[in-house]
């Protein structure tokens, strides 16, 4: 229904009539169709927006996404556009459909839903989405567990485990966690692992400042990986793959190091707990200019790095991989990146240092005299002096020191041990 819907009285059960148009005139009513809610998996308000516009826009109606059967038992998604210029009418339908579907629609939505849930009433939680959505749900599960246990959520040196396992069905672009758990981005494989109850305990990190807990997560990048994500977030109007390739190439072209101090505690042999004074003496410090710093508690497999971004760590060995790439030429840095897609050792360069650690502190140094145009776009430090962090594909900005701790086997995920998986070929469009 388009403009004529404004003059049509709404009955108690509202019906969207399918009208056939020639120009602005209605010439006939199309064949009546019905959509069963059991086939609908998402709904959104349909708006016309300008390039780069993220909010607002001219309301055109609502779009309902349904599951459609194709040949050979294949399923596909199908969008049904219901045109209507009435704000009241569209919002009424949208609100009722959303209540039925309960779809997470914004950052933090899954977290707010999990906080209200009685997790003991469930056998598990399944997330259909990309790395950011999965990380948000994992953070929500663990944060809910701390709240239920009466923990201070601003300071959690010894968090309690998540009460239920988490399943991951990949529906994003990179899908690092799904690749790490299943060795492939395949929704059916993921679903079968969940159905069969294949459980893997997985290590989780806490990311915190001196005053508060930032979040739970599995991996983080500071420097090149974070600057690339920060630039990609500024171009969300572009298609996902194009946006990430553009941000990667642009950040590589404007390659800049980050000056910071890295403090880390090497992995302790678990024979006995050393005295606190001995632990303080075992902290190592390195200062300098780094193109990228990676902190990863899991191997982080993906299509571009089939052996993993951190191939020397495991899902649940109680350690993190600290990978520090010192300042070097763009040519040498590209050689290092290309190694991820091959069977060669990506760390066999004089400017790359790797450590097996249990704690890391990253203290950035604020810079002055920057090129305003480039660094406003790429170095999200900008006006507030904050620095970008890429935590499980989510962008976070933090100005102070970030303290990362690994907590062994803090959550159960549906999946298998990646050591038993077959290797796959790398695919990358960037370099």
**For the chain, domain boundaries:** 3-101, 109-202, 204-420
Distance of alpha carbon 54 from alpha carbon 135, whole angstroms: 23
Distance of alpha carbon 309 from alpha carbon 325, whole angstroms: 13
Q: How many CA atoms lie within 13 A of 143 on its CB side?
A: 24
> Is 431 a residue whose pLDDT tops 60?
no
Distance of alpha carbon 300 from alpha carbon 307, whole angstroms: 8
Q: For the residues of 111-167, what is the DSSP string, one character each?
A: HHHHHTS-GGG-S-EEEEE-HHHHHHHHHHHHHHHHHHTT--TT--SSPPPPSS-EE
The closest alpha carbon to 1, from 16, 22, 21, 20, belongs to 16
Give the range among 42-51, 67-76, 135-144, 401-410 with minimum mean pLDDT: 67-76
CATH code of the domain occupying 204-420: 2.60.200.40
Q: Can you give the pLDDT at residue 277?
A: 58
Is pLDDT larger for residue 250 or for residue 272?
250
How do residues 184-234 score in pLDDT, each as one tens digit? 888 888 888 888 889 999 999 999 998 899 999 999 999 999 999 999 988
Q: Can you give the pLDDT at residue 22?
A: 52
What does pLDDT average to over the chain? 80
> Is 254 a residue whose pLDDT tops 60?
yes
Distance of alpha carbon 255 from alpha carbon 224, whole angstroms: 8
Give the range among 180-184, 223-227, 389-393 with minimum mean pLDDT: 180-184
SS3 361: strand
- The size of the chain, in residues, is 431
Give the range among 302-316, 334-348, 413-427 with minimum mean pLDDT: 413-427
Q: Can you give the pLDDT at residue 383?
A: 40
Fold of 109-202: Rossmann fold (3.40.50)
> Is 281 a residue whose pLDDT tops 80?
no
């Amino acid at each position: 229904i388009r403009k004529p819907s404004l003059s049509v009285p709404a009955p108690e059960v509202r019906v969207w009539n399918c009208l056939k148009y020639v120009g602005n005139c209605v010439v006939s009513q199309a064949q009546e169709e019905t959509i069963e809610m059991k086939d609908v998996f998402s709904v959104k308000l349909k708006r016309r927006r300008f390039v780069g516009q993220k909010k607002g826009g001219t309301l055109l109606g609502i779009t309902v996404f349904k599951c459609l059967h194709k040949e050979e038992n294949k399923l596909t998604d199908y969008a049904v556009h219901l045109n209507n210029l009435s704000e009241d009418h569209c919002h009424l339908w949208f609100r009722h459909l959303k209540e039925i579907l309960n779809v997470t629609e914004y950052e933090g939505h899954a977290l707010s839903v999990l906080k209200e849930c009685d997790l003991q009433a469930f056998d598990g939680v399944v997330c259909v989405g990309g790395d950011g959505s999965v990380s948000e749900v994992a953070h929500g599960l663990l944060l809910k567990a701390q709240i239920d246990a009466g923990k201070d959520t601003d300071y959690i040196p010894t968090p309690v485990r998540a009460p239920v396992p988490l399943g991951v069905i990949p529906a994003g672009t990179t899908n690092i966690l799904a690749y790490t758990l299943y060795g492939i981005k395949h929704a059916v494989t993921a679903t079968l692992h969940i159905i069969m109850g294949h459980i893997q305990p997985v290590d989780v990190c806490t990311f915190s400042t001196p005053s508060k807990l930032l979040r739970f997560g599995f991996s983080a990048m500071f420097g090149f990986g974070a600057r690339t994500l920060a630039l990609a977030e500024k171009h969300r109007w572009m298609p996902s793959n194009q946006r990430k390739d553009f941000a990667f190439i642009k950040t590589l072209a404007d390659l800049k190091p980050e000056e910071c101090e890295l403090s880390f505690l090497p992995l302790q042999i678990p024979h006995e707990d050393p005295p606190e004074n001995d632990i303080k003496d075992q902290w190592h410090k390195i200062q300098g200019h780094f193109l990228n710093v990676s902190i990863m508690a899991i191997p982080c497999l993906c299509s571009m790095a089939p052996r993993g971004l951190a191939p020397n760590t495991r899902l649940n060995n109680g350690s993190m991989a600290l990978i520090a790439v010192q300042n070097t030429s763009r040519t040498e840095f590209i050689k290092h990146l290309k190694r991820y897609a091959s069977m060669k050792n990506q760390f066999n360069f004089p400017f790359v240092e790797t450590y097996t650690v249990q704690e890391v502190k990253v203290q950035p140094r604020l810079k002055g005299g920057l090129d305003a145009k480039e660094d406003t776009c790429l170095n999200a430090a900008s006006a507030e002096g904050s620095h970008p962090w890429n935590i499980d594909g989510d962008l976070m900005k933090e100005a102070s020191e970030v303290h990362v701790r690994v907590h062994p086997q803090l959550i159960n995920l549906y999946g298998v041990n990646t050591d038993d998986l077959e290797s796959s070929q790398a695919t990358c469009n960037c370099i």
